[in-house]
Amino acid sequence: MSIYLLWLPDEIAASSPAVWYSGQPGTRLSNVLKIQDRKGYHMENKPKSHESSDNPWYGVEPQIPESAITETVNTEILIIGAGTGGMTAAIFAGRQQAQTLVIEKNATVGYYKTYNAAVDCRAQREAGANAKLDKEALVKELLRYPFQYDEVDRRLIANANFVDEKLIRLWVEESGAAFDILADELSEYGIKHVAETDIGDGYHGNFKIFPVHTKFIVPLLKGGPRGRVHGGVGVIEPWLKKKAQKLGGEFRFNTPLVKLIKQDDKVIGAIARKKDGGYLRIHASRGVLLCTGGYSDDHELFARLNPQAATVTSLYYGQKGNIGDGIKAGIWAGGEKAPYGTAGLFDRGMVKPGGKAGPPFRRLGPTLGPLDAFHMGSQPFLKVNMDGKRFMNESVPYDAILYPLQYEKNHVCNVIWDASYWDAIKRFHVVACARQLPSPTRPKTYEGIGKMINRVLLARGAMKGYIQKANSIEELAKKLKLPVAQFKDTVERYNKMAKAGVDEDFGKPAKDLVAVENPPFYGVTNAGWMMHTTDGLLINSDMQVLNTQGAAIAGLYATGDAASGFFATNYYPELVVGIASGKTITFARHAVAHMLRDG
């Protein structure tokens, strides 16, 4: 039997004990979990996610009296949540002429980011050789993120539910068809599906990049393209809703989920609250699909379930109202949440000099908010801790630079660059939403914010007191509140290694070793930007929510951040660009198909 330790930083150890995971083949994780606190004693048989405890995070299922029900409706498919998964599921259901009702707690539809990972879709086939990839290598890379196969027995991974390989392979095999269907449905509005194939040399540090990124481009006269700044948020959503409605889908806004309805062991519908305060009972003959997102908008719950991520986060920008409603309702209906906290963190959370990461988080607005994030944070510039020292190889994906900050002062780092930074950015050739250089891909994808917008963002950061400018390294150290002598020594050594083309300290690739020597010099204190959580309900490869014995709950499905099994312990692999929304849409289609076939 193998034992693995998930360790927490000292600041949160008192309230969040270390967790030992026992890899016993053939057993459910929640039955073999043992918790050991810092005093050394064990709590055997930790309560499962559905069981009561002194202070369960998921609360108690509300009891709604019959007299409070003011309306009852019938439908075939009930979709809860009108975000990426919900809107596209409504389109897929409408294509099959299924009676579909979508309820949404907010007054309008949710965000849809145009970073959509797919494999072998029509747009990629049209792109030719630049979009070709090795599917097996892709699967292995996705599995590699949460665990290395050569280090851990495959049976432990399956039983511990770190990731479910079946789900990963399902996305690889079905995503192309899902996006081709969506592209066909949106084409009547002039919306084009294009593939982003520019991946530089194919690596970011030691991490491989795959050409899976696709986008939907909305015509200029219909609101787009605006994807250069914020991933197209606010551009395509009206068209998704319009298409779903044209195919017969009904939307009810300001209608939050209260609870699911079960009959024996089957989910047959849900109860929601209406805008007037009354309760709506919905019977769904084919099934209920949870597209409610995670719990990122409940920062207290986020810190409780994702303590490591919360420790290194300073900024929040995510979907309003994602507070775990669907996950909680799924647990009340007998489901089980993934046992590992998993969050989407970007390394772009600026803080003022001398500031700290951790709750409470600075909250960004839905439109101009992202302008107050540090978009160059993901570039592999020189990064030092509050002691003025390097602490790791900077050429890593977004969250890989963040989690080590658990062990650094204030849980922050300082990003350092000089007047020739744009030449460095050209060398780095960072892709995905961190891309600064405009992409040369044709058809045009509008990826990369470009030098002009970059300068505007830097000026905004400086104006608000985040980004510091100095004429000498010593002056920059003082402005960032770093020890002057140590910081100067670090920069001098870094410059020496950059000129030699060899990082003797952390093994950073030569192309990313760029000297800091041309004044003026710049720096910013940086931490995490939290966008979403991905540790939702456990599902099978038909998107059916699983109960605590691992069996499917009839009538209940989940996709997006309300589901789990695809990502674990760390963020989804950013260099498989758009994988979060890509798998969400693929799984929405699969769930609808399963409902109509077997529901």
Instruction: Say if 129 falls within a structural domain.
Output: no
Q: Which of these three, 530, 555, 583, is where a domain ends?
A: 530
Residue 35: its pLDDT value, please?
30
Angle CA 102–108–114, to nearest 5: 90
Instruction: Say if 13 falls within a structural domain.
Output: yes
Instruction: Say if 76 falls within a structural domain.
Output: no
- The pTM score is 0.89
Give the CA diameter of the chain: 78
Q: What gap in Å lies between CA 583 and CA 580, rounded to an integer?
A: 6
Q: What gap in Å lies between CA 305 and CA 303, rounded to an integer?
A: 6
Q: What tokens were used for 139? A: 């699967």
Q: What tokens were used for 296? A: 């990122």
Residue 459 sits in a domain of what CATH number?
3.90.700.10
Strands 413-418 and 521-533, bridge-based pairing: antiparallel
**What would the pLDDT profile of 37-96 be if each residue is shown by its tens digit?**
222 222 233 334 433 456 789 999 999 999 999 999 999 999 999 999 999 999 999 999
Identify the sign of the CA torsion 500, 501, 507, 512.
Answer: positive
Instruction: Say if 105 falls within a structural domain.
Output: no
**For residues 76 and 94, is the Cβ–Cβ distance under 8 A?**
no
Domain count, the chain: 2
CA dihedral 133, 138, 140, 143 (to 10 degrees): 180
Cis-peptide, bond into residue 225, ω within 30° of zero: yes
Residue 367: its pLDDT value, please?
57
Residue 361: its pLDDT value, please?
95
The segments of the chain whose pLDDT lies below 50 read: 1-52, 147-161, 227-231
Domain that holds residue 16: 2-43
The secondary structure of 283-351 as a DSSP string is: EEEEEEEE----STT-HHHHHHH-HHHHHTEEEE---TT-SSHHHHHHHHTTB-B-SS--EEEEEEEEE
Instruction: Say if 408 falls within a structural domain.
Output: yes
Instruction: Say if 403 falls within a structural domain.
Output: yes
Q: What tokens were used for 155? A: 């049976």
Instruction: Say if 399 falls within a structural domain.
Output: yes
Instruction: Say if 9 falls within a structural domain.
Output: yes
Residue 174: its pLDDT value, please?
98
